[in-house]
Amino acid sequence: MTVLPSSPTPDSSSKNRPRNIFAPEFVRPAIAASFTKLDPRSVIRNPVMFVVELGAFLTLYIAVANAVTGKTFGYELAVALLLLLTVLFANFAEGLAEARGKAQAASLRAAREGTIARLVGGNQVSSADLKRGDRVVVETGEFIPGDGEIVEGIATVDESAITGESAPVIREAGTDHSGVTGGTKVLSDRIVVEITSQPGESFLDRMIALVEGASRQKTPNEIALSLLLSALTLVFVFVVATLPALSAFVGTTVSITTLVALLVCLIPTTIGGLLPAIGIAGMDRALQANVIAKSGKAVEVAGDVDILLLDKTGTITIGDRQATRFLPLPGVDEKTLARAAMLSSLADPTPEGRSIVVLARQLGVDVEAPESAEFIEFTAQTRMSGVDFQDSNGLISIRKGASSRIASLAQERGGSAPAELQARVDEVARSGATPLSVIQGNQVLGVVALSDIIKPGIRERFDQLRRMGLRTVMITGDNPLTAAAIAAEAGVDSFLAEATPEDKLQMIKDEQRSGKLVAMMGDGTNDAPALAQADVGLAMNSGTQAAKEAGNMVDLDSDPTKLLEVVEIGKQLLITRGALTTFSIANDVAKYFAILPALFVAAFPALGVLNVMQLTSSRSAILSAVIFNALVIPALIPLALRGVKYTPGSADAMLGRNLLIYGLGGIVLPFIGIKIIDVLLTLAHLS
């Protein structure tokens, strides 16, 4: 594969750099989008703002008609421009959120373009023409042309163009770290990659579409809130439509312009204008945390997750377990156990298998695979691997695997598992290592200790998850004693030992049937069914392509504690939407006190007591309310895009805090703002 000279590597160092919300590169396209989104076909997707836009056009028509007939039109024109400005501000908020996503997409697109792939056999094709099943050769210094699985070799890969992290990673055929992403660079060695995506459907293609907002769909909560806002808007339309008849009955008149202004101030325009931006910003914040969400629903659901299931190997632990000890059973020589374990591991490409070979050689054991050797690969169902071969004594069959499975195999072969086996297994398990039993024929030879390492800082992160109300469950194929030791060291709440893919899937279904929302983290092909079933399936980018396809989120950093940030982002999204909805509905109260007395105080002088702000005139009151209604949207854009800060605590405490800040604040702030605007309008009129 050759890299074209015109294809620079993206500056990954800036990928996760904090970005100013109102940076010029975001503001300019957002301003342009504010006007292009005035197209009624675009605005109608937001019923609240569609009503505001209709009101702007109606009052503008009245202003023009008054001007043509020689009537005064300043008031009508002012209301029309203010309503149009309200829609522009709402469009600007959405455009600003989209612009931030498109800036991310530009960096990702640079990582995808400009590579030529060298197929196995020597032919060269454009990376855009690669199809699923094609095999390509990638060597040192070359870019991987598409998503795939390494089927041959091991290499150091620079994934900074995708993840923003400068540290290279190891990718190897035959392991749970065999998945590679198009646009990443091979730093050493040679690999053969089998492409797993069709043209235009690669991981990067989907990332670009998602961060640009092109494929963003409304989440269920967002749809429900949109329906509520539409219903409130419809109710106030009917309320305002009855006012002319009521006004005529009491001997006063209300102009159409005033009715339109009243309607716009009554309906929840603040949350209506900011709702799309909140949803887009949620996915953008996930991307800033190096998490790709395949849908907004996944981010939202993460905020309500009850249980987190984590695969142990590669998630809670570093994953590359190393053979550290041979523990032979009584009557078995240590080198005999080492020889059998080595023979069964000669074709084992996993780090564990290679470490057994290395440990055996350190003991002075060095054997080669017999010509007749038939190696048996490990599967999650059998939970063992091994080798069969012929020698002078006939057929030799060696297996290594989970101790319970080896004990069962000994009985199947007419032998039995000595009582000492369980003692050796328990000894290894209590130390936190994984016991791997070895059998030759029907004789169990002993146990190999595989030591695993807990990832640093993980216990503290699990403590944080616990404070957020999440229960953590470690899932592992280890025996219960080993699982218990590692679970205690890692700080998880519970564990599922000796788990098969079917066990993981069943556990998720059981929790979901009890009404729980389940998040699953994993990286291997055997995690794929569970990732697909979970409400939130977070696959690690270092894992297999099958895992990444099954999950609805991908963690580009392959950090097992990343779900903590995902949950915080989900909760922040829900809290932000709820807080701004509360503020929007609460600040309507002040507008009632500003406009309703102004409309009917002449007919009902007693309503003057409601004019607590002592506004100058009816028109000043209406204009002040409409101006405040327009200005509050851009004022809240930073909050909508950054989100309301989430602090772990009880739901009651969080609700009380938000009601105090956004409920009471939503009532008080408009009183102050409308009064200040009224004073300024009066001073401007007097001058």
> CA Rg, the chain, in Å?
33
Compute the distance between CA of residue 153 and CA of residue 172 in angstroms, rounded to an integer: 6
Contacts of 353 (CB under 8 A, 6+ apart): 345, 347, 385
Q: What is the mean pLDDT of residues 201-215?
A: 59
Residue 538: its pLDDT value, please?
Answer: 87
Write down the pLDDT at residue 10.
36
Q: What is the pLDDT of residue 13?
A: 36
Q: Do domains 130-198 and 337-449 have the same CATH topology?
A: no
Mean pLDDT of the chain: 81
* 129 among annotated binding-site residues: no
Give mean pLDDT, residues 592-615: 72
pLDDT in tens, 470-502: 888 888 877 787 788 888 888 889 888 888 778
Most confident of 41-50, 195-204, 220-229, 371-380: 41-50
* pLDDT for position 61: 93
pLDDT in tens, 364-418: 888 888 888 888 887 766 778 888 988 877 888 999 988 888 888 888 888 888 8
Is the pLDDT higher at 98 or at 4? 98
Examine the pLDDT at 63 and tell me if it is beyond 80.
Answer: yes
User: What is the pLDDT averaged over residues 634-646?
Assistant: 86
Report the C-alpha gap between 495 and 237 in whole angstroms: 56
Q: Grade residue 180 by pLDDT with cuts at 50, 70 and 90.
A: confident
Positive or negative CA dihedral for 642, 644, 645, 647?
A: negative
Whether pLDDT at 594 is above 60: yes
Identity (one letter) of the amino acid at 67? A
CATH architecture of 337-449: 3-Layer(aba) Sandwich (3.40)
Whether residue 391 is annotated as binding a ligand: the answer is no
pLDDT over 70 at 151, yes or no: yes
Run of H or E including 400: strand 394-401
User: Cβ distance 424 to 447 under 8 Å?
Assistant: yes
Is residue 12 very low, low, confident or very high in pLDDT (cuts 50, 70, 90)? very low
pLDDT bin (cut points 50, 70, 90) of residue 4 is very low
Question: 385 labelled as ligand-binding?
Answer: yes
Calpha distance 555→181 (Å, rounded): 13
CATH architecture classification, 130-198: Distorted Sandwich (2.70)
3-state secondary structure of 199: coil
Residue 257 in marked binding region: no
Q: Answer yes or no: is pLDDT of 114 > 60.
A: no
Q: Does 382 show up as a binding residue in the annotation?
A: yes
Give mean pLDDT, residues 295-320.
77
Q: Domain-by-domain residue ranges, the chain?
A: 24-103+211-286+570-684, 130-198, 301-316+455-556, 337-449
**Superfamily (CATH H level) for 301-316+455-556:** HAD superfamily/HAD-like (3.40.50.1000)
The type of residue at 215 is S
Structure tokens at 184: 């990443």
**106-110, 326-330, 439-443, range with the lowest pLDDT:** 106-110
| pLDDT score at 553 | 85
Q: pLDDT value at position 618?
A: 78
Sequence-ordered strand ranges (E) for 122-183: 124-126, 135-138, 148-152, 154-158, 169-172, 179-180
pLDDT higher than threshold 50 for residue 137: yes
pLDDT of residue 83: 94
In this predicted structure, what is the pLDDT of residue 164? 53
Q: Is 478 annotated as a binding residue?
A: no
For residue 16, what pLDDT is reported? 43
pTM, 2 dp: 0.65
Give residue 79's identity as a one-letter amino acid code.
Answer: V
User: Would you name the residues annotated as active-site residues?
Assistant: 311
**Per the annotation, does 504 bind a ligand?**
no
194-203, 207-216, 454-463, 504-513: lowest mean pLDDT where?
207-216
Please tell me which of 61-65, 426-430, 573-577 the model is most confident about, judged by mean pLDDT: 61-65
378 labeled part of a ligand binding site: yes
- Model confidence at 135: pLDDT above 70: yes
pLDDT in the model for residue 149: 86
Q: Is 645 annotated as a binding residue?
A: no
176 a known binding residue? Answer: no
Calculate the CA 192 to chain-centre distance. Answer: 30
